[in-house]
Structure 1
Amino acid sequence: MAPTPFRHDVVIMGGGLAGLTLALQLKQRFGDIDVVVLERRPHPVPHAAHKVGESSVEIGAHYFDTVLGLKAHLHGAQLRKFGFRFFFSEGRRDIDQVTEIGASRYLSVPSYQIDRGIFENYLAEEATRAGVRFVDDALVRRIELAQVPQDSFGDHDRSRSRGDADDPQALHRLEWTQDGETRVAHARWLVDACGRAGLLKRKLGLAQANAHACNAVWFRIGARITIDHWSDNAQWRARCEPQARWLSTNHLVGTGYWVWLIPLASGSHSVGIVADPRMHPLETMDSFDKAMDWFRRWQPRLFDELDGQRHLLQDFAFFRNFSYGCKQVFSGQRWALTGEAGLFLDPFYSPGSDFIAMSNTYITDLIAHDRAGHSVAARAQLYDQIYHSFYESTLALYRDQYALFGDPEVLPVKVIWDYTYYWGVLSQIFFQQRLTDLALLGTVREELQHCQRLNVAMQDFLRAWSDKSAKRNPPVMLDQAALPWFAELNRSLNDRLDDEGFKARMRASATQLRELAGEILRRACAEHPGLDNGALRAVLADHVPTSPAQAPASPLLFDA
């Protein structure tokens, strides 16, 4: 006998971070919505050694703690992150005698180090409490997508627009198994959140390569790596308050690679190597023993820390060519992809949760318009274009940039620039809840496009500068918290702006990026007069709406 199909408003394939947060967001927006989450793994999942991607940054953190209201869990069961921190420690054991980038104190807007096992178990419980049907140990076997006429909604009223809910031909159909039994579900909306398995991506041929070829290896060790104890230099330790560098996402950087050190609330530590294969082939690090030999050569102080703890290894994994795009993630045919089922950039700057926050917000808004009886075809197309523009502009931060990671003169400037672009543009859009306000975004389109062009030109300029840089590595801390304008930019994310205030903020961000670009240009060219700067100067010559330019009261960069 054929199984009886069950009908749902939304079926989400994948009950990890992306799928569960989407389910919660939908239930918070629509109390009566029928949501099913199908998760392949049995629950509860293990702590520590569950999934990689433990570090969050401001957009993702705000999505978790404020949009979804999970602040109590994040404060009580996870770790508040002490920002990003970088050490130019290649081949060195004297961590206190190299250049360090980081903040000496916490900035205003929090971010978190998240044990994915603890978090995803909690999210599954929260989703169930909210009325989501969460099914673990479920394997999707077959998908049949509905063919939704693009004009099926048109000017129809709500009752007619949703009348096709009674027509199985107009609903997506899934077959899935649990405990050897086949089940069938019909869904008005189908969302792929199943990560790199990419069920819909494969079915629809949406996979898309990009020009960013990098590899990563990682493992979890059942011990705390307290980088603060790597030196007994009291002056070095006192540079930070609290003296808790270990709570940062610590980066040990060198030419062509970076190493992450991320603490987990369970007491373990996540360790990873991300590298450009042209300089550090995956074959030199694709097992724990090989990775340890790699550390012995390139980051010997970390090797010292781990060598006596090999027996505490909890897992080991790697990805080859981890970065990829996707031709389409939102469709007027009432399907969507979110999280790594769609696209993935790079773990540097931890943008994964940010893009989950944005895609889930777009999906929730599309479903809201559908439930209101409106056509979603044009809106889905626009959201897809905007989302991909965010992806492309962020990809510029990584593409062909790994060689300068070993440059103690240029990388600190890149980090300041990248944060300014992130906090000043994309973060403002998300924090001010303007992501789906197409009319308002249209009024600042020129400013946003100018900022994107400026960012691409700056990334090219930084690469050219690093080719000529002396790469001096003095024993100093470049304290981001000591740059008043930088700390204020972070704090400004907490502002609440009306429409006019938002437009003024976007103009101010464009002005700030132009001023910062000008200072970077002057400093670099003063030391290297022959540096090619034509493309950057050309963008700076563009005329765009900006705030009245004012000479900064103090330099925007660290003292040379």
Structure 2
Amino acid sequence: MTRPATPAHDVVIMGGGLAGLTLALQLKRRFEDIDVLVLERRSHPVPLAAHKVGESSVEIGAHYFDTVLGLKPHMQEAQLRKFGFRFFFSEGRRDIDQVTEIGASRYLSVPSYQIDRGIFENYLADEAARRGVRFVDGAVVRAVDLAETADAPHRLRWTVDGVTYIARSRWVVDACGRAGLLKRKLGLARPNAHDANAVWFRIGERIVIDDWSDDPAWRARCEPQARWLSTNHLVGAGYWVWLIPLASGSHSVGIVADPKLHPLDTMDSFDKAMDWFRKWQPRLYDELDGKRDKLQDFMFFRKFSYGCKQVFSAQRWALTGEAGLFLDPFYSPGSDFIALGNTYITDLVARDRAGLRLEARAQLYDQIYHSFYESTLTLYQDQYPLFGDPEVLPVKVIWDYTYYWGVLSQMFFQQKLTHLALLGELREQLVHCQRLNVAMQAFLRSWSAVSHKRNPAVMLDQAALPWFAELNRSLNDTLDDDGFRQRVRDSAALLDALAREIVERASQAHPGLDSGALGRLLDEKSPTVSDEAARPAMLFLAASAMG
């Protein structure tokens, strides 16, 4: 049975998960009168806890949810505020209080959240409907016919309970996740060279890592004494394990691993994963062994990382979220890239509504978005072997955060993503930061190959680095264009200074260590006064990590 075609919509979003629903809300927040239809395959409400993986957010994604979309009351009341990232070099150990810990002893200024995806996506669907979005669950998209001319509408055919519907739309957005309807239709899939696998499950009970030691001094290192609210990482060479609490009372547990060191077939069932924990992370095995009856689900992805040839088009289509590309769950960039992509899509829709040409703008947005993707990919590709290095990984984490907060986060928080003229003015500094990051990742690999990998019982407290805490706080500043120009220049100088400090410290410990491309890049640029002024403040963590 086929129903008649509906009136044309402004935007049809295929997929009513995190990416699709947040885009719908962003469009309605920008244009109260916009007609948005969201087609979601799953029936609502979705289950809590064991719904979708991807529960941890970081600063860009968190700011997108609570401020850009205006969802702060929900985030604060129905989700958990995250106590930052935390790392333990606990491979083969049960005495977690006797290993190196990386983390902050207190909350930093800018919040992030642990998100129960079931709670959140149910809320988003209700909120979208309240704001005037037409949300249809149980809808299966059968065909998408893209317009062949500039002004013709796209046509979609979908079914609900055996009834076929047809719609016309000026814009169509694929937010279907890995199903990637438009990606498959247009042949946009592109592999990348990052080879890693992931397994995960949810347990219907809290995992309180604070209870893994009864040492009052160890517990007192953090205020609040609630390490369990962090995204906790148990790390070793070639892998990391995540522990993420959910507001529903469950806990998400995952293993992400380089298959060259930890093959997927050693962990691709719950029983195998438990055997793997018993060998590599025995304290977590102890915690989970008595909770086997509370297992809520188990899933895995083989080679989860991939790219996409194009995500935005002047022909009035776009891809967002995992329908486009996916990097790695380390540092939780998924919601960040949803925020970035949805912001670009919203601006393209706005320009189209204003009657402006889209060709050049869509192409540039696509290039910039892919540049963000390529820059972030370097944080992961070929880096997993050094995850078990208690001397190098702490420095990598500080570097990666500094690059993230100092460059990409500043663009998003200061609402400059679509200010192409301003970004063009700063191209030299932005490209320099990007080149520094690529060279730093290679240097970290070289350093880890010769490091002593000492694992002392120490907490490397990120909150005790004044410049680091200030960089986080600075995301809350409101800058005009001149202020933003200076902020990017300051970030470039900070990264230069930090890179020099890292190279010098590592070379002192290992005189034969070649600084390679990083050294040559730093040699091209003489230290500035601001570089030198920043250096002493950086010694705390670097000296602690390097011994």
TM-score range, shorter chain: over 0.9
1:339 to 2:340 alignment = no
Q: Give the whole-Å Cα distance in 1 for the aligned partners of 2:248 and 2:468.
A: 32
| Distance in 2 separating the partners of 1:201 and 1:529 | 49
1:21 touches 1:123 (CA, 8 Å); kept in 2?
Answer: yes
Structure-1 residue corresponding to 2:5: 5
Distance 1:64 1:530, change over 3 A: same
Give the conservation status (yes or no) of the 8 Å contact 2:496–2:531: no
Alignment check: 8 A CA contact 2:321 2:338 kept: yes
Per the TM alignment, residue 2 of structure 1 is displaced from its structure 2 partner at its CA by 5.2
Q: Distance in 2 between matches of 1:487 and 1:132?
A: 39
Report the Cα offset of residue 546 of structure 1: 7.7
Q: Does 1:549 align with 2:531?
A: yes
Aligned to 1:62: 63
Partner secondary structure for residue 111 of structure 2: coil
Displacement of 1:110: 0.1
Q: Name the SS of the counterpart of 2:533 in structure 1.
A: coil
For residue 324 of structure 1, the aligned residue among 306, 311, 331 is 306
- After superposition, the Cα gap between the structure-2 partners of 1:39 and 1:375, relative to the gap in structure 1 and judged at 3 Å, is same
CA distance in 2: counterparts of 1:311 and 1:191, whole angstroms:
41
Normalised TM-score (structure 1): 0.95
- CA distance in 2 between counterparts of 1:185 and 1:452 reads 43
Q: Is the 8 A contact 1:209 1:324 kept in 2?
A: yes
Change over 3 Å in CA distance of 1:533–1:22 after alignment to 2:
same
Aligned to 1:76, the other structure's residue is in SS state: helix
1: distance between equivalents of 2:258 and 2:84? 24
Task: Report the equivalent of 1:484.
Answer: 466
Aligned letter for 1:263? P
Report the counterpart of residue 496 of structure 2 in structure 1: 514
Distance in structure 1 (CA, Å) of the matches to 2:535 and 2:443: 25
Give a deviation string over 1:323-351, Cα, whole Å, max 9, x none. Answer: 00000000000000000000000000000
Letter of the structure 2 residue corresponding to residue 362 of structure 1 = Y
- Contact residue 447 and residue 545 of structure 1 kept, 8 A: no
Q: Which residue of 2 aligns with 1:304?
A: 286
Question: Structure 1 segments of 4 or more deviating over 2 A?
Answer: 541-555
Identity within the alignment, %: 78
Pairing 1:112–2:113 present: yes
Distance 1:402 1:415 in 2: 13
Q: What do residues 340-396 of structure 1 show as CA deviations (whole Å, max 9, x unaligned)?
A: 000000000000000000000000000000000011111000000000000000000
The yes-or-no answer on 1:262 pairing with 2:244 is yes
Say whether 1:496 aligns with 2:478: yes
1:33-63 deviations in whole A, cap 9, x for unaligned? 0000000000000000000000000000000
Tell me, yes or no, if structure 1 residue 26 matches structure 2 residue 27. yes
Q: Distance in 2 between matches of 1:88 and 1:423?
A: 25
Q: State the match for 1:418 in structure 2.
A: 400
**Alignment correspondent of 1:438:** 420
Give 1:529 deviation, angstroms: 1.2
- Cα deviation for residue 553 of structure 1 reads 6.5
1:188 CA displacement: 0.3
* Distance of 1:30 and 1:194 partners within structure 2: 23
Asked if 1:287 corresponds to 2:288, the answer is no
Report the equivalent of 1:216. 198
Distance 2:525 2:498 in 1: 17
Contact between 2:99 and 2:456, CA under 8 Å: does it hold in 1?
A: yes
Asked whether 1:246 is paired with 2:224, we answer no
State the 1:538 CA deviation. Answer: 1.5
How is 1:132-143 mapped onto 2 (pairs within 5 angstroms)? 132-143=133-144
CA distance in 2 between counterparts of 1:124 and 1:555 reads: 46
Correspondence list, 1:61-80, <5 A? 61-80=62-81
Deviation at 1:552, TM superposition (A): 2.7
What is the letter of the counterpart of residue 528 of structure 1? H
Give, as a single letter, the amino acid of the residue that structure 2 aligns with 1:24. Answer: L
Give the partner amino acid of 1:62: H
Residue 40 (structure 1) aligns with = 41
Q: Report the counterpart of residue 98 of structure 1 in structure 2.
A: 99
The alpha-carbon deviation at position 547 of structure 1 amounts to: 7.9
1:310 corresponds to which letter in structure 2?
R
Q: Distance in 2 between matches of 1:203 and 1:231?
A: 54
> How many angstroms does 1:554 deviate by?
2.7
User: How many angstroms apart in 2 are the aligned matches of 1:176 and 1:508?
Assistant: 51
Structure 1 unmatched ranges of 5 or more: 150-163, 165-169
- Any idea what SS the aligned residue of 2:142 has? strand
Deviations 1:525-545 (A, max 9, x none): 011111121210111133499
- Give aligned pairs, total: 541
Which residue type is aligned with residue 301 of structure 2? F
Partner of residue 399, structure 1: 381
Q: Which residue of 2 aligns with 1:526?
A: 508
Q: Structure 1's 386 and 253: CA in aligned 2 closer, same or farther, altered over 3 A? A: same
